[in-house]
A and B are shown apart, each in its own frame.
Chain A
Amino acid sequence: MSIKPPVEDFATDWDHTDPAWVANPYPIWDELREKCPVAHTDRYGGGWFPSTYELVSAVANDTDNFTSHTVVIGNGRPGEDAPPAPIGVAPPISSDPPFHHIARRLILPAFSPGVVNTIEPFVREYCGKLLDNVSAQEIVNGGSDYAQYIPVAVIRQMLGFPEKDEDLFREIVHIVMEGIDEPDMDKRIAAFEPIRIYMEEQLQDHIDHPRDDLTSYLLNAEIAGTKLLPEHIFGTILLVLVAGIDTTWSGIASSLYHLATNPKDLERLVNEPELMPLAIEEFLRFYSPVTMARLVKEDFDFNGCPMKKDDWLLLGFPAANRDPKAFPDADKFIIDRQINRHVAFGLGIHRCAGSNLARMEMRVAIEEFIKRYPKFELTDADVVTWSQGQVRGARHLPLRILS
């Protein structure tokens, strides 16, 4: 990983991997909203960061001027070898209209609320097993003992991949999401090679032994009477792996962090379980894990900013969700907030396809945890770590179980 100079002025030199941003981005975003709603950086070859709800919404809904071709910021730009728009490397997240609509329609039924309901018992049982495994411990790591395992198990089961490969899934997510600072494209491609080989093995196994899972569904799916291209199937599976794992893991872990540091909220949630749906939406707003990126399609002026073709646009849904113009007491966590038009799952045509699944996993994971442990606290506030990059969540989260 390259060593980068620390940021002194986030308005003109922002970096979402800067230690100050990673540790506590909220005061930075508050200042940007006041000073200049759209911050700029020359890092990563140039990019912009709108910090208000209004501007984040405007970008999310503007597929004419912004492409989703690459949604994770890196030092490079999509090379000539990269699959072109409108399909992109991981459809439909990397796709633009009109292809986007087709690719998205294809996968939405697999993540519909009806399907998600059928998965809930599996998640509940799995959470119970994880808690059984740590039942003798006085200190439970909410991240590495609990949250991180839950979405991995869910996604693995949905794809129909072997249970023994769950560690490998976490490795894949790590390579894709946290390897963004590797400037050498050849090295990034080399790091990706084992993933490609593994996925081809899994696809072949599903071709030889079709079964009732998402992988076989994609292999059999057709667009206008034609089977999907291999790179489409590969890309969609990669999307499900990457978008479905550390996002939800972050959502669960950050929620546990909140409850560990706010005993009154924990007590209310234990005593008033009917608050859970409102609490989940507030966890999603207050600790939104996911930030997406866009690329500027052609030179144009956005809100007075002279954007150039191929500039990055960092789409900060978490910043939008803390905008005081959109939410009264935006910097306060209100567990029974009634009106909460948060955009944690994005907005517009790219609304997170797995949002119903993520919500269910968060709800079940928290319900099971607080049922088992109605009282817990951080062992030490200073040791909590947060992930860097475009997915934010508590990672190292040692919790002392109280009786």
Chain B
Amino acid sequence: MKVVINADACTGQGRCFGIAPELFDFDDLGNGVVKGDGKVTPELVEKARLAEANCPEHAISIEE
């Protein structure tokens, strides 16, 4: 499982790196970026799903 951010949809709402700082970071403009290769370890699955479900711009997706 890995998390992906659609950079065209992201407007920097900041929810993903607030919820799951292990998986997401922010760039100089405050837009969300995926940390590393985005791979989700089992203990972070719930956080990944919450990040996806809380993004107001629907910019986050999870690839199984």
Residues in A lying within 8 Å of B, measured CB to CB: 105, 108-109, 111-114, 277, 281, 338-343, 345, 347-349, 351, 355-356, 359
Contacts and interface: CB of A to CB of B under 8 A. Distances in A.
A355 B17 contact: no
A339 B28 contact: no
Nearest to A344: B56
Given A108-B28, A345-B13, 15 more contacts: A108-B29, A109-B28, A112-B27, A112-B29, A114-B26, A277-B19, A339-B50, A340-B54, A341-B54, A341-B56, A347-B56, A348-B11, A351-B12, A351-B13, A351-B57
A108 B12 contact: yes
Interface of B: 11-15, 17-19, 26-30, 50, 53-57
B11 A338 contact: no
A342 B53 CA distance: 11
Contact of B57 (A105, A108, A281, A348): A348
Main secondary structure of the interface of A (DSSP, over half): helix
Contacts of A108: 12, 28-30
A114 B17 CA distance: 12
A38 B30 CA distance: 33
Contacts of A113: 14, 17, 26, 30
A351 B29 contact: no
Taking each of B19, B29, B56, which has the highest tally of chain A beta carbons within 10 Å of its own beta carbon?
A: B56
Contacts of B13: 345, 351, 355
A342 B55 CA distance: 9
21 contacts: A108-B28, A108-B30, A109-B28, A111-B30, A112-B28, A112-B30, A113-B14, A113-B26, A277-B18, A277-B19, A341-B53, A341-B56, A345-B56, A348-B11, A349-B11, A351-B12, A351-B57, A355-B13, A356-B30, A359-B14, A359-B18
CB-based closest 4 A-B pairs: A351-B11, A108-B29, A112-B30, A339-B53
Contacts of A109: 28-29
B56 A105 contact: no
B16 to A, nearest CB: 11
A236 B38 CA distance: 36
Nearest to B18: A277
Contacts of A348: 11, 57
Taking each of B30, B54, B57, which has the highest tally of chain A beta carbons within 10 Å of its own beta carbon?
A: B30
Contacts of B30: 108, 111-113, 356
A342 B56 contact: yes
Nearest to A347: B56
Contacts of A277: 18-19
Contacts of A347: 11, 56-57
Nearest to A57: B56
Contacts of A341: 53-56
Nearest to A113: B26
